[in-house]
Amino acid sequence: MKSYTVAELLNSETLVQEIIVKGWVRTFRANRFIALNDGSTINNIQCVVDFENTNEDTLQRIGTGAAVSIKGELIESQGKGQKVEVKVTDITILGDADPEEVSKTVLQPKKHSLEFLREQAHLRTRTNTFSAVMRLRSSLSFAVHKYFNENGFYNMHTPLITGSDAEGAGEMFRVTTLDPKNPPLDEEGNVDYSQDFFGKETNLTVSGQLEAETYAMSLGKVYTFGPTFRAENSNTSRHLAEFWMIEPEVAFMDLSGNMDLAEDFMKSVLSYILEHNPDDLKFLEDRLIQEDKSKPQAERSEMTLTEKLRFVVDNNFKRVSYTEAIDILRDSKPNKKKKFKYLINEWGSDLQSEHERFLVEKHFKCPVILFDYPANIKAFYMRLNEDEKTVRAMDVLFPGIGEIIGGAQREERLDILKKKMATLDISEEELWWYLELRKYGTAVHSGFGLGFERLVMFATGMSNIKDVIPYPRTPKNAAF
């Protein structure tokens, strides 16, 4: 007898006389109808128990949360709500679930708060919402690898433990094996890192970009997809101490090529889930619609989840210079009427998500790529324009969230890069290898970074970043 997943049974073109299916009981009603789920799909398969011919003890043990193995026949459903169902001929309890205990967990079939679900993160993927989110996360992850593979990119694993803190993208975590209480000190009384595991002070990386550049400048097109870290003490719905980043980097590509890549990439991965995960998206879309009903009109979404995804997939991304955007924002209604929290008065201001969303949702009504930002609000490695006050940076802006991608053409000129580093007090000694890329056949090259969890939030409509990663790491929390 062959084993099938729930997804295989639900999608079966034919009826099957003898099947085995294993999974967890979501609900059991009228001593007859098991809603069985095994994680292969958001949908349950209905398994109909012949209760008259099933022993009492077994019937008792078929409860929410129990793991069961079912033998039976896949037949046309006798009831409505499903096309097929399983007529159970034999059922074995693999693992019990005490109803009393279950009632204290998120397995109990009712609505739970997201906070409560986070406390039981080891069980929350047995609920519809979180299984849908994590299946989508997995699909997006595959779509990322597939896109780059099909487009001639090589995947590269950049180091997590780093001896340099040059990028300055944020606070770092120290990695050490020194005695925590009595670290060895040098003659000047400072911690003697030469005795640490790596012979120097090391931290967890904030970005793999600089290393990715070294591979782009040899292999042509590369991308990273790995964890990055920020030791920032911000406990918000948008910050994690540990999150995953995607960073493509391409030799001989300028900023305009970078914009093409970002647009094509985002359209491709979102199209992938529209094609491959319709059931999960439908469930999450309905969830958001329900949620919206309890909100005041002004806070409700203007677009459904699918509409938001299609907004990205179907529209051209509008490319606008920072300078042009500032003009638009300065003259905008919310700025004049002081509706923005941060008013835009002058060229040089950093944009907030309220401004980014205004440009996308109200002004252009399509995804927007801003470029040529003021040099002094962007990182040292971005290529200086001829005007000497802007750099070839770009941010991709999406509805609902604002910036989702940040990228740039990199400064490929050794002398200008050195000057910039000197100004910012970045050590040439530490980044000797990064500088050498500009010494041995330098060339125009560009890339961008995308926080993977931001993408998953956008694609699932979840509003807290802690709900789109299996086990979130945040200040005072490293549970599981």
Site membership for a second copy, residue 173 (CB under 8 A): yes
Q: How far is CA 217 from the centre of its chain?
A: 28
We find the least distance from the C-beta atom of residue 58 to a second copy, in angstroms, to be 15
The window from 176-184, 287-295, 325-333, 402-410 that contacts a second copy (CB under 8 A) reads 176-184
What tokens does 463 get?
């509003």
Nearest to 149 by CA among 247, 244, 223, 257: 223
Using CB under 8 A, pick the residue from 11, 12, 16, 22 that binds a second copy: 22
Interface with a second copy in residues 76-115 (CB under 8 A): 94-98, 101-102, 105, 107
84 - beta bridge partners? 76
Sheet of 368-374: strand order equals 154-155, 221-229, 242-251, 445-451, 402-409, 390-398, 368-374, 318-321
Site membership for a second copy, residue 71 (CB under 8 A): no
Interface with a second copy in residues 311-330 (CB under 8 A): none
Which DSSP helix (H) or strand (E) runs through 67? strand 67-76
Buried b (16+ CB within 10 A) or exposed e, 196-232: beeeebbbbbbbbbbbbbbbbbeebbbbbbbebbbee
Site membership for a second copy, residue 154 (CB under 8 A): yes
Using CB under 8 A, pick the residue from 11, 16, 39, 87 that binds a second copy: 39
The window from 46-54, 190-198, 287-295, 319-327 that contacts a second copy (CB under 8 A) reads 190-198
366 neighbors 318 (Cβ within 8 angstroms): yes
445 neighbors 250 (Cβ within 8 angstroms): yes
Site membership for a second copy, residue 1 (CB under 8 A): no
What is d(CA 87, CA 74) in angstroms, rounded to the nearest whole number?
6
We find the least distance from the C-beta atom of residue 460 to a second copy, in angstroms, to be 14
The conformation of residue 163, written as its DSSP 8-state character, comes to: S
Query: Which segments of 213-281 are extended strands (E)?
Result: 221-229, 242-251
Closest to a second copy by CB, 168 vs 348, is 168
We find the least distance from the C-beta atom of residue 141 to a second copy, in angstroms, to be 5
Using CB under 8 A, pick the residue from 19, 175, 259, 325 that binds a second copy: 175
Site track for a second copy across 401-440, x = CB under 8 A: -----------x--------------------xx-xxxxx
The window from 46-54, 175-183, 329-337, 360-368 that contacts a second copy (CB under 8 A) reads 175-183
Site membership for a second copy, residue 364 (CB under 8 A): no
The window from 241-249, 304-312, 325-333, 381-389 that contacts a second copy (CB under 8 A) reads 241-249
Closest to a second copy by CB, 97 vs 396, is 97
What is d(CA 50, CA 89) in angstroms, rounded to the nearest whole number?
8
Q: Is 448 helix (H, G, I), strand (E, B) or coil?
A: strand
Using CB under 8 A, pick the residue from 78, 170, 174, 333 that binds a second copy: 174
What tokens does 34 get?
């098991």
What tokens does 405 get?
């991608």
Closest to a second copy by CB, 22 vs 87, is 22
What tokens does 239 get?
């910050």
What is d(CA 382, CA 33) in angstroms, rounded to the nearest whole number?
62
We find the least distance from the C-beta atom of residue 22 to a second copy, in angstroms, to be 4
We find the least distance from the C-beta atom of residue 125 to a second copy, in angstroms, to be 4
The window from 52-60, 78-86, 129-137, 320-328 that contacts a second copy (CB under 8 A) reads 129-137
Closest to a second copy by CB, 213 vs 361, is 213
We find the least distance from the C-beta atom of residue 24 to a second copy, in angstroms, to be 5
Site track for a second copy across 257-296, x = CB under 8 A: ----------------------------------------
Using CB under 8 A, pick the residue from 31, 55, 177, 235 that binds a second copy: 177
What is d(CA 203, CA 198) in angstroms, rounded to the nearest whole number?
11
Interface with a second copy in residues 195-234 (CB under 8 A): 197-200, 202, 204, 211, 214-215, 218-221, 226-227, 229, 231, 233
The window from 23-31, 290-298, 331-339, 393-401 that contacts a second copy (CB under 8 A) reads 23-31
Closest to a second copy by CB, 134 vs 404, is 134
Q: What angle do CA 113, 450, 353 make, to 5 degrees?
A: 65
Which DSSP helix (H) or strand (E) runs through 304? none
Site membership for a second copy, residue 40 (CB under 8 A): yes
The conformation of residue 343, written as its DSSP 8-state character, comes to: -
Torsions phi, psi for 477 (to 5 deg): -145, 110
List C-alpha distances in Å: 144 to 209, 262, 291, 367, 370.
17, 12, 30, 20, 23
3 - beta bridge partners? 20
Nearest to 69 by CA among 36, 44, 102, 97: 36
Closest to a second copy by CB, 373 vs 434, is 434
Site membership for a second copy, residue 304 (CB under 8 A): no
